[in-house]
Amino acid sequence: MTLAAGTRIGHYEILSLAGSSGMGEVYRARDKQLKRDVAVKVLPPSVVHDPARLSRFQREAEILAALNHSGIATIYGCVESAASHAIVMEFVEGETLADLLKQGPVSIGAAQSYARHIIDALEFAHDHGVTHRDLKPGNIKITPGAGDGGTAS
């Protein structure tokens, strides 16, 4: 179930669908209190009452919230209601690595830069006991300038 622009979840107003994941849909939203754009990852309604999925979703939020690294999106909090559960996090500008690769090959220098940033973030997570179980190009955002020293998140 895709949320329409203008839908409110807590004090977050949905702007647009940003993507989908195995755990739900991710939306670009506006934090009306702090006046900033955020990403809101919403569990699908079909699993809101599944204790195992809710527990996994909560663990994901807790694990990510414990990590503070420039290559890992920052968790701002969780929002719950009878109809939905959501993780609110930093909105990372840029396109996914999957979208970038659809445009054609990237230069060796850009690929090396992306790899360095990805490895750095993974090493940080691993050093903190976290294993990413869904690492794929669609889950990696390439921020503007990433091939020239920017970041891959």
134 as an active site residue: the answer is yes
Count the residues in the chain. Answer: 153
How many Cα atoms within 13 Å fall on the side-chain side of residue 67? 28
Give the active site residue among 31, 99, 127, 134: 134
Beta bridge partners of 41: 26, 87
10 Å CB burial of residue 137 (0-12, 13-18, 19+) is: middle
Judged by DSSP in three states, 92 sits in coil
Q: Which residues carry out catalysis?
A: 134
